[in-house]
């Protein structure tokens, strides 16, 4: 490798890595540069991102030349927007990682949750029915249709409306009367990303804060630094009409002097640091906490050590402290954890509705190798009009190769993979939503939670399998579910290039009890029929 082609390590926040796809820019694939990303994030901040940069523990801004940039100018602990400032050198991943399979690509839940928060433009209109199980079944069950019914303090109501909430979401309708009751009640709630649950528990915390008391009264645990910043952003927005309100971040790197006491009203942090602040360092008196929130419980228990640390923190709190726990899923492990942390809870669950494939036409194409799969893809594009397409690959290497080949054919292509920083993925997805790229080539990092109205075709260049080589039916459903949305009919095409992949396809058909028709991509008349 010559000196000119060597890549320097970049100083980046600990969220991932800048993608180093050889020749990607020259071939027309959109892979955002460091300069582009910095400018994009600056634009987001100007448009109301708030004071919270969604970076990892301390940050040097990334320069396009890969050199260290300016230090973080954020305020020291004690101010409302206190952020830790530490630097971390990340070495760019090499091509040795390009062979990772889609099972290895599956995002850790914290990164996926952060990505969903960054790309969401509004609340999800959840069609699931809400099931409320009250601690006391004899108590009347209340729900609200407006925020005025909650009798909030004027400053809080003003903050709610300033955030753009006109009426409570489905989860808020049922959760807020319980959380704001007198006396406040404990709650375990299942709530998916984008349903307004963060605003709900922030409202509960702000309702309990007495600004005249200069000590922590509310404590919120988040699985990661980045998710803590996102929650802090909501608190800052909703509490903007409380000028005396103070917020502190208990995260690694935020240093206080030994013997110092935290005077902020609300503390958000990760379990390990919060535990240190409460027990070893005595920065916080846990006996004065009135509201304890454990957010993203399913993410929390997937992180080593967080579960035990959270339980130890909970045991330090007073008996009358309100306990609130939120989780996107209610797996057995989450449920056992919730029962340890939240005594005598009210429970809100989402009744599961089966996802349907009725609006999606599914086909498969028989090929012998990768080149034939690519040719079949070109034939599809030559015969039918495709507004936007998402193409899923099994490995990063295949995704990179396919994006480059499609770019050579003149297509506007974006590439998305797990080696990219979370903010970079968000930038790629936003451009794809805006129609700046018509084709998105991706591994499983894009299988969930991304709604693009113009996507008319989903192509499984490689069928999804788990680490044992068996069909991954859930991932298949999430993949092809990117089309056939918003009441429109969608098209899914599966590439089959071996006996093994044919067996995988047959098992997928059996699982969903849905026949997948064969498509001959050499027959233009047949291809044109599927578009009608």
pLDDT of residue 352 exceeding 60, the answer is no
Comparing C-alpha atoms, which of 312, 303, 304, 247 is closest to residue 276?
312
Regarding whether 210 and 315 lie in a shared domain, the answer is: yes
Q: Is residue 199 part of a domain?
A: yes
* pLDDT for the residue numbered 88: 29
Q: Which domain holds residue 73?
A: 3-104
When mean pLDDT is compared across 44-53, 349-358, 448-457, the lowest value belongs to 44-53
The secondary structure of residue 133, as a DSSP letter, is E
Identify whether residues 293 and 404 lie together within a single domain: no
Indicate if 141 and 167 belong to the same structural domain.
yes
Of 333-347, 405-419, 518-532, the least confident: 518-532
pLDDT at 272: 95
Same-domain status, 366 and 446:
yes
Are 158 and 300 contained in the same domain?
Answer: yes
Burial of 526 (0-12, 13-18, 19+ CB in 10 A): middle
| Domain identity same for 300 and 374 | no
- For the segment 311-335, the average pLDDT, to the nearest whole number, is 92
> Which of 67, 87, 104 finishes a domain?
104
Residue 113 falls within a domain, yes or no?
A: no
Q: How far apart are CA 335 and CA 327, in angstroms?
A: 9
Q: Is residue 125 part of a domain?
A: no
18-27, 65-74, 365-374, 487-496, range with greatest mean pLDDT: 365-374
User: Out of 236-240, 251-255, 293-297, which region has the weakest mean confidence (pLDDT)?
Assistant: 251-255
Q: What total of structural domains would you count in the chain?
A: 3
Last residue of a domain, one of 350, 382, 414: 350
- Is there a single domain that holds both residue 100 and residue 189? no
| 18-32, 48-62, 171-185, 402-416: least confidently modelled range | 48-62
Res. 457: pLDDT tops 50: yes
Q: What is the pLDDT of residue 252?
A: 83
127 domain residue, yes or no: no
pLDDT of residue 125: 47
Q: Is the pLDDT at 66 greater than 80, yes or no?
A: no
User: pLDDT of 103-160, one tens digit each?
Assistant: 344 446 777 777 766 665 554 444 456 677 776 665 555 688 999 999 999 999 999 9
**197 or 425, which is more confident:** 197
Question: Is residue 99 predicted with pLDDT exceeding 80?
Answer: no
Averaged pLDDT, 316-345 = 92
Pure H helices in 295-437: 297-301, 306-316, 332-341, 370-383, 396-408, 422-433
> Is residue 355, in this structure, part of any structural domain at all?
no
- The token duo for 308 is 């035990």
The length of the chain in residues reads 532
Asked if residue 375 and residue 325 are part of one domain, the reply reads no
CATH of the domain at 383: 3.40.50.300
Q: Is 110 domain-assigned?
A: no
- In this predicted structure, what is the pLDDT of residue 15? 32
Residue 13 pLDDT class (50, 70, 90 cuts) = very low
Phi then psi for 133, rounded to 5 degrees? -110, 110
pLDDT of residue 497: 95
pLDDT of residue 153: 93
pLDDT for the residue numbered 123: 46
Which range of 128-142, 352-366, 446-460 scores highest in mean pLDDT? It is 352-366
d(C-alpha 501, C-alpha 508), whole Å: 10
Could you tell me if 392 and 9 are in contact, meaning their C-beta atoms sit under 8 angstroms apart?
no
Rounded CA separation 419/346 (Å): 40
Distances, alpha carbon 462 to alpha carbons 70, 98, 394, 472, 494, in Å? 43, 16, 5, 12, 7
Distances (CA, A) of 202 to 109, 111, 236, 476: 22, 22, 10, 36
Q: Which one of 21-25, 45-49, 228-232, 283-287 scores highest in mean pLDDT?
A: 283-287
- pLDDT given for residue 11 in this prediction: 29
Q: Are residues 77 and 56 in the same domain?
A: yes
Same domain, 384 and 457: yes
- Grouping H, G, I as helix, E, B as strand and the rest as coil, residue 80 is coil
- CA distances (Å), origin 351, targets 200, 326, 512: 20, 16, 20
Of 303, 324, 350, the residue at which a domain comes to its end is: 350
Residue 109: inside a domain, yes or no? no
337 and 265 within one domain? yes
Mean pLDDT of 314-343: 92
Residue 317 shares a structural domain with residue 413: no
Q: Is the confidence at residue 411, as pLDDT, over 80?
A: yes
Q: Is residue 74 part of a domain?
A: yes
How many helices, marked H, and strands, marked E, lie in the chain?
17, 18
């Amino acid at each position: 490798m010559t000196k000119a082609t060597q890549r320097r390590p970049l100083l980046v926040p600990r969220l991932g890595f800048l993608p180093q796809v050889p020749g990607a820019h020259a071939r027309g694939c959109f892979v955002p540069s460091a300069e582009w990303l910095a400018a994009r994030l600056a634009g987001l901040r100007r448009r109301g991102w708030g004071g919270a940069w969604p970076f990892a523990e301390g940050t040097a801004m990334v320069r396009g030349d890969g050199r260290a940039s300016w230090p973080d100018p954020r305020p020291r602990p004690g101010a409302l927007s206190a952020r830790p400032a530490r630097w971390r050198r990340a070495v760019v991943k090499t091509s040795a990682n390009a062979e990772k399979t889609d099972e290895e690509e599956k995002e850790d839940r914290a990164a996926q949750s952060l990505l969903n928060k960054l790309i969401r433009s509004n609340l999800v209109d959840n069609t699931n029915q809400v099931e409320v199980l009250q601690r006391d079944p004899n108590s009347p069950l209340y729900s609200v249709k407006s925020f005025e019914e909650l009798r909030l303090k004027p400053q809080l109501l003003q903050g709610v409306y300033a955030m753009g909430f006109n009426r409570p979401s489905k989860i808020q309708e049922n959760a807020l009367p319980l959380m704001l009751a007198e006396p406040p009640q404990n709650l375990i709630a299942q709530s998916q990303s984008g349903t307004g649950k963060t605003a709900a528990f922030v409202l509960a915390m702000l309702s309990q804060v007495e600004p005249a008391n200069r000590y922590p009264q509310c404590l919120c645990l988040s699985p990661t630094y980045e998710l803590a910043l996102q929650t802090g952003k909501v608190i800052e927005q909703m509490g903007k009409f409380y000028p005396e309100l103070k917020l502190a971040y208990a995260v690694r790197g935020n240093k206080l002097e030994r013997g110092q006491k935290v005077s902020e009203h609300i503390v958000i942090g990760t379990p390990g640091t919060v535990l240190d602040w409460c027990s070893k360092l005595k920065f916080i008196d846990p006996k004065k906490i009135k509201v304890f929130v454990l957010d993203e419980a399913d993410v929390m228990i997937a992180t080593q050590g967080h579960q035990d640390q959270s339980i130890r923190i909970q045991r330090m709190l007073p008996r009358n402290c309100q306990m609130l726990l939120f989780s996107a899923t209610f797996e057995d492990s989450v449920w056992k954890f919730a029962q340890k942390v939240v005594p005598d809870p009210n429970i809100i669950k989402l009744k599961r509705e089966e996802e349907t494939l009725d609006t999606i036409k599914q086909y498969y194409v028989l090929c012998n190798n990768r080149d034939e799969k690519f040719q079949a893809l070109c034939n599809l594009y030559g015969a039918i009009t495709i507004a936007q397409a998402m193409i899923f690959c099994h490995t990063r290497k295949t995704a990179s190769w396919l994006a480059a080949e499609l770019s050579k054919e003149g297509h506007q292509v974006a590439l998305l993979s797990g080696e990219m920083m979370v903010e970079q993925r968000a930038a790629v997805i936003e451009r794809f939503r805006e129609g700046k790229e018509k084709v998105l080539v991706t591994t499983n990092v894009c299988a969930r939670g991304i709604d693009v109205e113009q996507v008319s075709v989903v192509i499984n260049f490689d069928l999804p399998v788990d680490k044992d080589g068996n069909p991954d039916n859930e991932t298949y459903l999430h993949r092809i579910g990117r089309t056939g949305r918003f009441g429109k009919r969608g098209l899914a095409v599966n590439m089959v290039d071996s006996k093994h992949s044919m067996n995988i396809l047959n098992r997928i058909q059996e699982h969903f009890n849905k026949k997948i028709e064969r498509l001959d991509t050499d027959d233009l008349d047949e291809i044109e029929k599927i578009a009608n």
